[in-house]
Amino acid sequence: MFPRGLDVKGKKRKGKGKRPQSFVGLEALLVFPDHGDYVATLDLMRRFSAAFRFAYNRLQEGEKREDLKKEDGPLCTLFRLNTRYADDAILKAQALLTAQRELGENPRKVVFGGRKLLADLARLKKANLPLYERRKREWRERRKGMLYARGDKSKKGNPHLRLVVQDGSLFGAPTPQMNLWLQINLGEKRYAWALVKTSHPRLQALLSRVYAHEPYNVELALREGRVYALFSWEEELPPVSLTQEGGVLALDVNADPYGLALAVVNPDGSLRRHLTLSLEEVDRAKNRGAKEIALWRMAHQIVSLAQEEGVAIATERLKHLPKGRRGDGLGPAFRRQAHRFAYRSLLGKVHALARKKGIQSLEVNPQDTSTIGMLKYAPLLSLSKDVAAAYVIGRRALGFKEEIPKPLKALLQDPSFHDHTRRFYEGRIAQLKERHREEKNPYLRRRLGRELAQMKRALATLPSLQGEPGGPAGSTAGRNPQGIHAWRALRVGLFLPLLGRKVPRDLSPRKIRATPVTKPILLGSWEGWKRGLDPHPGGGSAATDAHLRVGVGSGG
């Protein structure tokens, strides 16, 4: 698969009036009746993978594709590939290079085989020999087990990795009499044959392309000694019919409770409706296949809701979230929670399905969405923090920026708030330093050290005294530029010192009434805490003994 927005040659798609394309496909296991064909295919995959890495490095140095793919060029002579295989290796390398540059990553820091797997190898080299050997084999397979051939309509589908149907009908479900074979061009007029084993729902779409001689791309991958084939092709997407002009359906994925918070936001930024969906069914799935089915079912439910409401879809732009490892001091409960958190898989399915249905899909910066939702909209609209965060995501997708409410803005400008909060964190830091110095257990020391670093970062956030402007983007011309960390200063100043918790579960008025410390702040004036409130913010045993919990979920 190629990065979004690139064609099979790693170039941006062009052309007026052309509908956007989407890559779809299926994966199948290859079974080699002849062991010699299997060995020859592995050798071809090894040489192609080496050519791919070589081409990637040469492209960085400025060498041209035309020079690299020549019959007497380095790829053909060094790796014994024909010119088409050499060109396919160059195209794969160019697609990776383009993706790295568009993502703002350093192309020279690409780790072939996987950066995480390389880190695991370094960690396990002396600690766990059996696991180290398995990881080492996986590393070698990723580096050496790749072969790619692009489709070509003039060559009747795919000239080098060609599908051949024997002994069966071209239409209907596969029968025992029909066999689907993959003919692998080994070069020098030699071929290997492998039986394609799959029951994927898209098999009939692939067969129709085979009989119509339509192009399809094939990529082979080696996993645990087995060769798998990924067949992909382009399909035209329908024109976008539902855009943000009609509003957005915003999603916030949460690990605790494991589920989705959804908010339908009108074009004027008001909240139309909201609901939550549980992902516990995904967590209870017996295997990976059942989990994928549950995620796809959830994605269809979300897209159907967007169609029903006539709105676009907006999600957070989440990068890789750390899921922890044994010995990191975070505890097994956190790691279990983090590893089940299938946020990227679900959001990818939602965006892919939305594009196929003609629904505009948007991604926004996740910074401070949960904080803004908790402090501004949870008390105002009686929402949970998760639904409030989804509401903020929807408003941000529509171009709105969040202005800090007047009571909270006054709080940020009150020196006593900063003084009390600073005293709380300074006392907490001193307490953690003492416990860290006396702790003998290395895992607990690591956990205390992480919490100590968090307290120091929270203390450094306090000097921020200004908030963000409000209203749609572009409508605040003439206002003075304001700071970007004010919401964080409010979060560290209110939640842990006052409530003893980093992320309160509910800040709706019903819950605030049960917590009198927060009511005058979130719904009234900061001065309200002085009227008979004891202990004051930043003081008292409850605040001193508060424990900072590490959470998983949205970027707020």
pLDDT digits (tens, 9 = 90+) for 47-71: 999 999 999 999 999 999 999 999 9
Q: Within 10 Å of residue 66's Cβ, how many Cβ atoms?
A: 10
pLDDT band for position 367 (50/70/90)? Answer: confident
CA 368 to chain centre: 18
Residues in the chain, how many?
556
Beta-bridged to residue 152, according to DSSP, are 157
Strand, coil or helix: 267: coil
pLDDT recorded at residue 167: 63
Q: Please write the tens of the pLDDT for every residue from 6-49.
A: 443 444 444 444 555 667 789 999 999 999 999 999 999 999 99
Characterise 62 by phi-psi region: left (phi > 0), alpha (psi -120 to 50), beta (else): left
Residue 480, token pair as written in the block? 């003075």
Strand, coil or helix: 67: helix
Residue 274, token pair as written in the block? 């909201």
Q: Are 346 and 474 a contacting pair, CB within 8 Å?
A: no
Q: Please write the tens of the pLDDT for every residue from 166-225.
A: 864 434 444 455 689 999 999 988 999 999 999 888 888 898 899 989 999 999 999 999
Q: How far apart, in whole angstroms, are the C-alpha atoms of residue 549 and residue 96?
A: 38
pTM: 0.62
Amino acid at the residue 371: T
From the list 401, 399, 400, 387, the residue with the least C-alpha distance to 272 is 387
Q: What is the mean pLDDT of residues 450-478?
A: 59
pLDDT band for position 379 (50/70/90)? Answer: confident
Residue written as token pair 């169609």: 307
Residue 395: pLDDT over 90: yes
What is the largest distance, in Å, between two alpha-carbon atoms of the chain? 91
Residue 149: pLDDT over 90: yes
Q: What is the mean pLDDT of residues 322-339?
A: 47
Q: Phi and psi for 502 in degrees, rounded to 5?
A: -75, -40
Residue 189, token pair as written in the block? 């007029």
Q: Are 370 and 491 a contacting pair, CB within 8 Å?
A: no
